[in-house]
Amino acid sequence: MRKRECHPLLKGGRGDNEYKHGFYDAEMKSLASIYEIVLPPLSMNSLKIEKEYEVDHENNKDVESFWNTSGSCYPIPHEVDENGVNPAWDAIGYVVSTNKKLTNGSNKRPLERGVIETMHESDSTLQQSLVNKGLNVTLDSKNNILKIKCDALVIGSGSGGGVAASVLSSAGFKVVVVEKGNYFVPQDYSSLEGPSMNQLYENGGIFASVDSRILLLAGSTVGGGSAVNWSACLKTPQNVMKEWSEEHKLPLFQSLEYLSAMETVCEKIGVTEICTHEGFQNQVLRKGCQNLGLKVDYVPRNSSGNHYCGSCGYGCPTGEKQGTQVTWLVDAVDNGAVIITGCKAERLLFGNNKSVSGKKKKCLGVMAKTLSSTVTKKLQIEAKVTVSAGGALLTPPLMISSGLRNKNIGKNLHLHPVLMTWGYFPDSNSDLKGKVFEGGIITSVHKMQPPSYTKSEAKAIIETPSLGPASFATLCPWESGLDFKKRMLKYSRTSHLITIIRDMACGEVTREGRISYKLSKVDRENMKAGVQQALRILIAAGAVEVGTHRSDGQRIKCNEISENEVEKFLENVNPLEGALSQGENWNIYSSAHQMGSCRMGVDEKEGAVDENGESWEAQGLFVCDASVLPSAVGVNPMITIQSTAFCISNRIVDHLRSL
């Protein structure tokens, strides 16, 4: 079998001789013993009695091998073998994207002329590479520091940073972008779940709140979240713009400036509402809603109408999804911006402010380090303005650790908490074609309508997720090795729906990697209503079994059950505490949208930054990411983030021109 062609960091398997799992032999033997108990080899007789399977197990060698194999067998602890294949995939009906449908020019690296990848640099080459990109660089050999000067420094390259880099460089300013992730292009992507999560997500995709209640997904690569998100492009809801403008006293959000920014953003990233062919999960959502008489909308996406890629969460292998790394950042590089990858901002640099602004501090730039083992030099990047765009999880810790003390920094963190529900649809359900991992990830949405006698907006939205087999296996409540293997055999036809709430509760992030968060009573009520609605939709779409990922394996068979039995089951579907709670059962929540932790406010009591995105404490320090949003958006926030960033960036241009 031909090895998968992709970037070495994304290939997985045993092909990389430098790979080490880090365990001693004795530790591996102990782990193998545990795996043997948790996932034991099973007799085929235990599968033959199951009437719900529709494959010929007696003649299916792949299923037989999967059934007879224990969790301690090869390729543990590797996800795949040297050919990029896991032997369980055929049994569970999983196929990895082959990267054959590249568009926009196969092997191009559109940021090549402006990117410096520190993973390919050394102490002897880095300075010259920076100079070659047109930067003013001097060496402080005594302190082993490279000093770089520019007009504008942007920390982060996602939906906020990418827009900022484009707007500032287009205005004629020399821009440097520092990004701690690496740069990948479509032909680099492997669509392999493990290596992709490890390289493209914050903390390798294994990032939990301090009480393990919520698992967080945040992009950590050039393009940030826009490189790995699920393409949904929903504009800021009218009620949210009204709330931010009137209740938070931020007129920007109901201004023509902001409305125009949303149109500019949508045009720039190629948003379309067309979807020519929906994947399995979105077919389920649409059919269930239609059978219940519920409204279901198409979701605009930043890709073509016939974009049928289920791998965008691991980087879009077709090259169709228009993240910042193929839109805004390309413009920035074309206008002379330099992007330094594998480079982490450690500390903001401040001096005394002599202007009449009333702010005691003036931001001078940042001290950064590379994450490459071959570069020991620190980078001191001096700039007229510094733009923090590391996202709602990283901007506040950087500001706090640098000495800023505004009480709003790190507080007011909103997460759009998510709970998943699932329904199993045998292949005999011919109305619903395809597999769970195929097709556009989000192409439809159901917005729950509140009771007619209330004046509130939708309590929750219901969409579809990307869920690879490893993530599916991780979320499945473990009851026994037999039950787990049964679930995995159903993987490809187990549709998931996600309930997303606009959370009223706030968490905090004041230290990097330490997230505290707890749902409010209202959030729990909205989550319960949304999860119950999602289960009704799955049942109405024809699922033979539905359930949640609650720790006790909560589920119910749907064939020949009464409406009363369904309602009794649904009434017992309650959002519970996290895994470390005292309760008998627990839920694991997830979050792919983090915002509000450095919110914009009318004064320093209400926010960490003003309506221009500038810090209340330090002149020349701007924040341009999801953390400035006053509260949760209630829908997928990419358009809101980029539109807000566009407005802030234009105001930064005005600031620079006034200097």
Q: Summarize the annotated binding site as residue ranges.
A: 150-165
Which residues define the annotated binding site for FAD? 150-165
Whether a cis peptide bond, with omega within 30° of 0, leads into 87 is no
**Nearest 5 degrees, angle CA 400-CA 351-CA 358?**
85
C-alpha to C-alpha distance for 98 and 247, rounded to whole angstroms? 50
- Whether residue 464 contacts residue 231, with contact meaning beta carbons closer than 8 Å, is answered with no
C-alpha to C-alpha distance for 649 and 183, rounded to whole angstroms? 23
C-alpha to C-alpha distance for 324 and 652, rounded to whole angstroms? 19
C-alpha to C-alpha distance for 94 and 91, rounded to whole angstroms? 8
| Residue position matching structure tokens 């320090």 | 621
Contacts 24+ apart (CB under 8 A), 250-255: 250/600, 250/601, 250/602, 250/611, 250/630, 251/611, 252/611, 252/647
Where in 434-475 does DSSP place strands (E)?
444-447, 460-463
The overall longest dimension of the chain from CA atoms, in Å, is: 82
- Whether residue 602 contacts residue 572, with contact meaning beta carbons closer than 8 Å, is answered with no
**What letter represents residue 638's amino acid?**
M
C-alpha to C-alpha distance for 270 and 305, rounded to whole angstroms? 10
Q: Which one, of 268, 160, 259, lies nearest residue 600 by Cα?
A: 160
Which of 416, 549, 593, 655 is catalytic? The answer is 593
* Phi, psi (deg, nearest 5) at residue 82: -65, -15
* Distance (Å) of CA 295 to CA 245, 281, 284, 363, 532: 29, 17, 14, 50, 16
Alpha-helical segments (H) within 234-292: 238-246, 256-268, 280-292
- Whether residue 457 contacts residue 239, with contact meaning beta carbons closer than 8 Å, is answered with yes
**Nearest 5 degrees, angle CA 538-CA 519-CA 456?**
70
C-alpha to C-alpha distance for 62 and 57, rounded to whole angstroms? 9
In DSSP terms, 439 is beta-bridged to: none
- Whether residue 205 contacts residue 212, with contact meaning beta carbons closer than 8 Å, is answered with no
Alpha-helical segments (H) within 490-581: 521-540, 563-571
* Phi, psi (deg, nearest 5) at residue 286: -70, -45
**Nearest 5 degrees, angle CA 86-CA 91-CA 97?**
55
Find the helix or strand (DSSP H, E) in which 101 lies.
none
* Distance (Å) of CA 311 to CA 62, 298, 365, 489, 620: 24, 19, 37, 21, 39
Is position 593 annotated as part of the catalytic site? yes
C-alpha to C-alpha distance for 482 and 191, rounded to whole angstroms? 28
**553 burial class (0-12, 13-18, 19+ CB within 10 angstroms)?**
middle
In DSSP terms, 347 is beta-bridged to: 367
C-alpha to C-alpha distance for 234 and 240, rounded to whole angstroms? 13
User: Could you tell me how many residues make up the chain?
Assistant: 659
Q: State the number of CA atoms in the 13 A half-sphere of 325 facing the CB.
A: 32
C-alpha to C-alpha distance for 66 and 634, rounded to whole angstroms? 42
C-alpha to C-alpha distance for 377 and 141, rounded to whole angstroms? 9
- Residues identified as active-site: 593
